[in-house]
C-alpha cells in the first residue's frame, strides 16, 4: 500500500513548528528521479575523459549494485581518482552547469512539495547523501537547504587529490553523521522526518520518528512493509519519452501553423488582425495540445479567466509548454511579455508580433519599459489583457523563483487587477532543454483577482510576497491533487 502525498503533507503540517524538528532528504532517487552520478559520467564521456577500464567498472557497479560499505568504498576509491589534480573551483562550476543542464529537470515534484511544507513549518532542512559535494552543492542552493552531509574530497592547495577527506556517508555511517549533526543543532530525532529510496538508508530511516520510503528499492520496500512505514510512489520525471513522443511533438508544432492557416480567412473577412490572432489562439492551441497528448484540467477558479478582464495574468514559468496552455486557457483579447529571443523563433515569432507581444531585453530596463508601454495602452483603451511571468524566466525546480515587481507596477499603472494562474505538470511534460513533449495532464488553479491598484506603495514588497506565497501553497496542493 502506498501513502497519498496529501496524507504525508498533512502529517508534516500536524508536526510541531520550529527547528527542533528535522527534515532529512536523501538526494539520488529521492529529491531527483535517477542517479546524479550518471550525469557526471555522461559529461566526462562527452569530454573524452572516460577510459574503457573505468567504463567497464561503472557498468559492473550498475549491474551488480553497491551492497556493502566496503563495495561503496571501493567504488569511491577508483571514481574519485578521475578528479586528481583538478581545481576545486573549476569542479564546483562544472557541478553547477551539470545540475542546470541535466539534473534540475529531474527534481521530483512530490518530494519538493514535502520540502516546502517543512520549510513553512520552520523545520531544520538537511540534505544527506553519499554523493560528492560536487553533486550536492547546486541542488542545496536551488532548494535552499542549509545543512548538507556529503562525501567530501580531499583538497590541497585548491586542488583535488582524488582521495576522501573523511568517512563517506553511506549506510550506517550516514545515519551516524546525521544523528551527530542533529545533536549539534538541537534537533529531536524522535520528532523528525526522513525520506529516502535506498536500501542502504534503512538505518537512517529507523533513526527518526517519521520515516518515509520514496520509490523504494526492494529491500527497503520489504522493510517499510514490515515496519509499516509510509511509502510514497513519485511519478517518473525525465528519462525516456516513449517512441511516439517525437511524432506527437511534430504534430503539435505543425498543427499550430495549421490552426493559423484556418484562422486566416476569418481575419480577412473581419478585416481585423485581432480577429485572426484570437481565432488562432483558441483554435491552434487546443489542436496542438490534443495532438501532443496534453490534457489541461482547471481544478478551480475558471471564472476568473474572464470575469476580471482587462487584467494582468501572472503564472509560474517552468516550460515552453506554458505558452500553449495559457493560450488555451485565455483564448482571446490577450497579449504577453516575452524575452527578445522569442521574436526570432520561426513561425511563432511572427505570430507573436501580430499578437502585439512585447519583446524585452532583460539586460536593458529602458528598452523593456518602452517595449511594454504599448501593451499597457491596449489594456486601458482596447481591454486587452497582459500575460507575464513574475519570475522573469523559467524556474529550474518544480517550485517558484523570486518574484520581480514589474507585473504589479504595470497593473497599478493601468488600474487593473492581477490574476494569478498556477500550473502543475508543464515542467515534467516538456522539461527545459528537451525537444519532445510527453503525453499527460497539466493541472491548473486560477486564484481570485488581486486589487493591486489599492495597495500601499510602501507595502509593495510584502504584498508581492503574499501573492507568491498564495501561489506556492496552491502549487503544492495541485501536485498532491
Peptide bond into 446 cis (omega under 30): no
Question: What secondary structure letter does DSSP report for 168?
Answer: -
Q: Are strands 440-446 and 294-300 parallel, antiparallel or unpaired?
A: parallel
Residues 401, 420: Cα–Cα separation, whole Å: 15
145 close to 126: Cβ distance less than 8 angstroms: yes
The C-alpha torsion from 334 through 340 and 341 to 343, rounded to 10°, is 50
Look at the block and give the residue holding cell 531527483: 32
* Cβ-proximal residues to 190 (8 Å cutoff; 6+ apart), any chain: 208, 209
| pLDDT the model gives residue 393 | 85
Q: DSSP class of residue 310?
A: S
The three cell numbers locating residue 184: 549539534
The answer to whether residues 289 and 324 touch, using CB atoms and an 8 Å cutoff, is yes
Residue 347 has pLDDT above 60, yes or no: no
Looking at residue 73, what is its pLDDT? 63
Q: Which residue has the higher pLDDT, 371 or 118?
A: 118
Q: What value, to the nearest 5°, has the Cα angle with vertex 303 and ends 391 and 285? A: 65
Is the separation of the CB atoms in 337 and 313 below 8 Å? no
- For 330, the grid coordinates are 485565455
3-state SS class at 25: strand
Helices 133-143 and 88-98, axial angle in degrees (round to 10): 60
Highest mean pLDDT (candidates 57-71, 184-198, 353-367)? 184-198
* pLDDT value of residue 19: 98
Q: Name beta bridge partners: 107.
A: 32
Instruction: Give the distance, in angstroms, between the CA of residue 410 and the centroid of all CA atoms in the same chain.
Output: 27
Show the cell assigned to 95: 557541478
Is the pLDDT confidence value at 450 over 90? yes
Cell (9 digits) for 359: 519583446
* Residues near 234 by beta carbon (within 8 Å), at least 6 away in sequence: 33, 108, 109, 110, 111, 214, 215
The answer to whether residue 133 scores a pLDDT higher than 80 is: yes
Identify how many contiguous H helices and E strands the chain contains and give both numbers.
Answer: 19, 15
Tens of pLDDT along 173-205? 999 999 999 999 999 999 999 999 999 999 999
* Apex 99 CA angle, 97 and 100, nearest 5: 65
At residue 399, does pLDDT exceed 60? yes
Q: At what angle do helices 69-80 and 52-64 cross, to 10 degrees?
A: 160
- State the Cα angle at 470 between 468 and 475, rounded to 5°: 90
Query: Looking at the chain, how many residues does it have?
Result: 481
In angstroms, rounded to a whole number, what is the distance separating the alpha carbons of residues 202 and 210? 13
Contacts of 50 (CB under 8 A, 6+ apart): 41, 44, 82
Cell of 84: 586528481
Least Cα distance to 26 among 184, 152, 303, 212 occurs for 212
Please say whether the beta carbons of 279 and 268 come within 8 A: no
Q: For 169-272, where are the alpha helices, taking DSSP H only?
A: 172-185, 202-206, 218-227, 245-270
Mean pLDDT of 124-146: 92
Confidence of residue 164 (pLDDT cuts 50, 70, 90): confident
- What span, in angstroms and rounded, lies between the C-alpha atoms of 19 and 118? 10
Q: Closest Cα to residue 338, out of 330, 320, 45?
A: 320
C-alpha cell of residue 120: 513553512
Cα separation, 281 vs 146, whole angstroms: 44
Percentage, residues of the chain above pLDDT 70 = 82
- Check if the beta carbon of residue 279 is closer than 8 Å to that of residue 312: no
Tell me what pLDDT residue 373 has: 84
Quickly tell me which residue has 513519485 as its cell.
234
pLDDT over 60 (residue 63): no
Residue pair 450/419 in contact (Cβ under 8 Å)? The answer is yes
Q: What pLDDT is stored for residue 351 in this prediction?
A: 64
pLDDT band at 43 (very low <50, low <70, confident <90, very high): confident
**To the nearest whole number, what is the mean pLDDT of the chain?**
86
Contact (Cβ atoms closer than 8 angstroms) between residue 472 and residue 400: yes
Average pLDDT over residues 275-293: 79
Amino acid at each position: 500500500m502506498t501513502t497519498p502525498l496529501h496524507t504525508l503533507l498533512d502529517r508534516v503540517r500536524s508536526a510541531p513548528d520550529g527547528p527542533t524538528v528535522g527534515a532529512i532528504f536523501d538526494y539520488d532517487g529521492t529529491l531527483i528521479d535517477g542517479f546524479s552520478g550518471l550525469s557526471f559520467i555522461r559529461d566526462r564521456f562527452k569530454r573524452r575523459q572516460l577510459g574503457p577500464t573505468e567504463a567497464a567498472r561503472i557498468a559492473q557497479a550498475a549491474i551488480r549494485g553497491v551492497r556493502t560499505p566496503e563495495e561503496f568504498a571501493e567504488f569511491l576509491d577508483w571514481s574519485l581518482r578521475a578528479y586528481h589534480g583538478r581545481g576545486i573551483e573549476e569542479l564546483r562550476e562544472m557541478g553547477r552547469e551539470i545540475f542546470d543542464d541535466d539534473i534540475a529537470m529531474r527534481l521530483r515534484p512530490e518530494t519538493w512539495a514535502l520540502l516546502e511544507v517543512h520549510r513553512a513549518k520552520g523545520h531544520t532542512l538537511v540534505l544527506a547523501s553519499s554523493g560528492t559535494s560536487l553533486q550536492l552543492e547546486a541542488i542545496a542552493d536551488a532548494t535552499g537547504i542549509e545543512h548538507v552531509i556529503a562525501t567530501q574530497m580531499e583538497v590541497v592547495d585548491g586542488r583535488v587529490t582524488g582521495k576522501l577527506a573523511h568517512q563517506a556517508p553511506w549506510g550506517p555511517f550516514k545515519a551516524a553523521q546525521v544523528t551527530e549533526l542533529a545533536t549539534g543543532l538541537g534537533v529531536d530525532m524522535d520528532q523528525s522526518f526522513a525520506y529516502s529510496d535506498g536500501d542502504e538508508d534503512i538505518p537512517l530511516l529507523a533513526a527518526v520518528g517519521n520515516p518515509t520510503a520514496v520509490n523504494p528499492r526492494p529491500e527497503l520496500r520489504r522493510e517499510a512493509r514490515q515496519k509499516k512505514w509510509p511509502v510514497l510512489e513519485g511519478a517518473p520525471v525525465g528519462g525516456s519519452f516513449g517512441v511516439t513522443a517525437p511524432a506527437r511533438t511534430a504534430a503539435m508544432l505543425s498543427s499550430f501553423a495549421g490552426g493559423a492557416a484556418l484562422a486566416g480567412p476569418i481575419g480577412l473577412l473581419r478585416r481585423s488582425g485581432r480577429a485572426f490572432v484570437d481565432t488562432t489562439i483558441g483554435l491552434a492551441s487546443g489542436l496542438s495540445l490534443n495532438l501532443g497528448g496534453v490534457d489541461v484540467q482547471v481544478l478551480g477558479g475558471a471564472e476568473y479567466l474572464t470575469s476580471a478582464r482587462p487584467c494582468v495574468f501572472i503564472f509560474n514559468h517552468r516550460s515552453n509548454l506554458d505558452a500553449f496552455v495559457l493560450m488555451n486557457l485565455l483564448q482571446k483579447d490577450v497579449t504577453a511579455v516575452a524575452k527578445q529571443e522569442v521574436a526570432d523563433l520561426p513561425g511563432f515569432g511572427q505570430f507573436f508580433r501580430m499578437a502585439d507581444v512585447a519583446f524585452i531585453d532583460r539586460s536593458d530596463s529602458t528598452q523593456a519599459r518602452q517595449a511594454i508601454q504599448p501593451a499597457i495602452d491596449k489594456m486601458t483603451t482596447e481591454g486587452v489583457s497582459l500575460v507575464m511571468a513574475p519570475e522573469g524566466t523559467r524556474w529550474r525546480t518544480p517550485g517558484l523563483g523570486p518574484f520581480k515587481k514589474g507585473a504589479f507596477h504595470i497593473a497599478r499603472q493601468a488600474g487593473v487587477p492581477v490574476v494569478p494562474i498556477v500550473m502543475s505538470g508543464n515542467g515534467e511534460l516538456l522539461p527545459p532543454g528537451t525537444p519532445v513533449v510527453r503525453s499527460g495532464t497539466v493541472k491548473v488553479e486560477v486564484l481570485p483577482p488581486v486589487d493591486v491598484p489599492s495597495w500601499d506603495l510602501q507595502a509593495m514588497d510584502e504584498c508581492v510576497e503574499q501573492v507568491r506565497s498564495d501561489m506556492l501553497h496552491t502549487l503544492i496542493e495541485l501536485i498532491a491533487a
